Amino acid sequence: MDSDFIKSIILEINIKSFITSLMILIISFVLIKLVMVFTEKLIQLTNFNEQREKTIKSLIDSVSAYFILTLAILSILSQFGLIKKSTVMTGAGIITLIAGLGAQSFIKDIINGFFILFERQMKVGDFVSINEQFLGTVEEIGLRSTAIREWSMKKVYIPNGEIKTLKNYYKEMARVILEIIIPFEEDHQMVIETLEEICLHINQQHDDKIYKIGSVNYSEFSVYGVMSIDGKYGGAKYIITGVVTPAYQWAVRNRAYEHILKVFKEKNIRLAYPRVYWQQEK
């Protein structure tokens, strides 16, 4: 009789523990769902880039789910007497510490990735140079890594924690620099006047691509004049510069060089090229 009584008590305790554990799991998943809904609503109120929004939401959801499920598992273990209830919070702290020590690079990647997104250093579609080593278009910005597509069409994944320097060629504006080398024998005044005509053509042809503040244009193409006469390129170096919206910097540069070749040919102005001189032995 005593044995049956004890068995009934144990069964009752097991059933109670099972029901409590089930409730803990249900509450945990409800909390995780609430966090996901909350972050979704919060993101809708921000003005972040869509890719950045998804990444930040994923980060918050993942961290929240990790802690909630960790506490839930420890609480369930305590219900069955496998650990003491007083050690639930301590256990959670120990597990977190172990995970932190075993995944320092992982955490570093996530933290660095978060700041890259939060500070809006780059977004999907930007053309960037990373660590002076990788050059390409950003295709993905994830929690742990950033993926760029190089000119060769290779897709490179770079851990966010390893990103030390970042050059973003699509950040608001880009300066186009045109270098034209003209032989010293050419008429300097004629060259300047021709380059000014070329600048006028570029400004008219690409007016919609030139960077403007409102309706005011502060960045039209203009001649900087002669920037070098050291002769190592076979002539004097003239510079033309202008500021355009980032996506068009290379297209405008290429079209401008094509127009320069056309105009110089029409006006019989030669372009310089390196020359090698040698002296015959007597």
Tell me the per-residue pLDDT of 193-220, one tens digit each, with 9 for 90 and over: 999 999 999 999 998 888 887 665 668 8
What mean pLDDT is reported for the chain?
79
Q: Looking at 28-32, 56-60, 93-97, 132-136, which range is the least confident one?
A: 93-97
Rounded CA-CA distance 263/45 in Å is: 53
Model pLDDT, residue 169: 85
Query: In this predicted model, which residue has the larger pLDDT, 72 or 208?
Result: 208
**Alpha-carbon gap, residue 142 to 117, rounded angstroms:** 10
pLDDT exceeds 90 at position 78: no
Q: What pLDDT does 35 receive?
A: 83
Check whether 276 has a pLDDT greater than 70: no
Question: Which of 114, 147, 168 marks a domain boundary?
Answer: 168
Question: Is 109 among the domain residues?
Answer: no
Output 244-248 pairs: Cβ under 8 A, ≥24 positions apart. 244/173, 244/174, 244/176, 244/206, 244/209, 244/210, 244/211, 244/219, 245/173, 245/174, 245/209, 245/210, 245/211, 246/127, 246/169, 246/170, 246/171, 246/172, 246/173, 246/174, 247/170, 248/206, 248/209
Residues 6 or more apart whose Cβ sits within 8 Å of residue 12: none
Task: Report the greatest alpha carbon distance in the chain.
Answer: 128
**Model confidence over 234-254: pLDDT tens digits?**
889 999 999 998 889 999 999
pLDDT at residue 215, as a whole number: 63
Q: Are residues 88 and 158 in the same domain?
A: no
The per-residue pLDDT for 71 is: 78
Which of 192 and 80 is assigned the larger pLDDT? 192
- CATH number reported for the structural domain that contains residue 178 in this entry: 3.30.70.100
Q: Round to whole Å and give the CA distance between 204 and 209.
A: 10
CATH number of the CATH domain containing 19: 1.10.287
What pLDDT is stored for residue 1 in this prediction?
A: 47
- Give the pLDDT of residue 81: 64
Same domain, 262 and 216: yes
- The per-residue pLDDT for range 10-42, each reduced to its tens digit, is 455 567 777 777 888 888 888 888 888 887 776
226 and 135 in a single domain? The answer is no
Q: How many CA atoms lie within 13 A of 123 on its CB side?
A: 14
pLDDT at position 76: 76
Is the domain of 196 the same as that of 160?
no
Residue 232 domain flag: yes
| Residue 8 banded pLDDT, cuts 50, 70, 90 | low
Rounded to whole angstroms, the Cα distance separating 61 from 97 reads 20
In a domain, 110, yes or no: no
Q: What does the CA dihedral 140, 163, 169, 151 come to, rounded to 10 degrees? A: -60
Tell me how many domains the chain contains: 3
Predicted pLDDT at 196: 94
The yes-or-no verdict on residue 177 having pLDDT over 90 is yes
Q: Is the pLDDT of residue 83 over 80?
A: no
CA distance 64 to 69: 9
pLDDT at position 80 is 66
- Single-letter amino acid code for the residue at 193: E
Q: Is the pLDDT of residue 7 over 70?
A: no
Rounded average pLDDT over 122-140: 87
Mean pLDDT of 166-173: 85
Are residue 58 and residue 75 in the same domain, yes or no? yes
For 85, the domain range is 2-102
C-alpha dist (Å) from residue 6 to 2, 13, 17, 61, 81: 6, 10, 16, 45, 17
Residue 148: which residues within 8 A CB-CB, separation 6 or more? 128, 130, 134, 135, 136, 137, 138, 139, 155, 156, 158
Instruction: With a cut of 90, say whether residue 79 has pLDDT above it.
Output: no
Query: Is the pLDDT at 134 greater than 50, yes or no?
Result: yes
Q: Tell whether 143 and 91 lie within a shared domain.
A: no
Residue 5 confidence (pLDDT): 45
Q: Is the pLDDT of residue 188 over 70?
A: yes
**Confidence class of residue 141 from pLDDT cuts 50, 70 and 90?**
confident
Q: Residue 161 sits in a domain of what CATH number?
A: 2.30.30.60
On the CB side of 107, CA atoms within 13 Å amount to 10
Does 3 score more than 60 pLDDT? no
| Same domain membership, residue 57 and residue 35 | yes
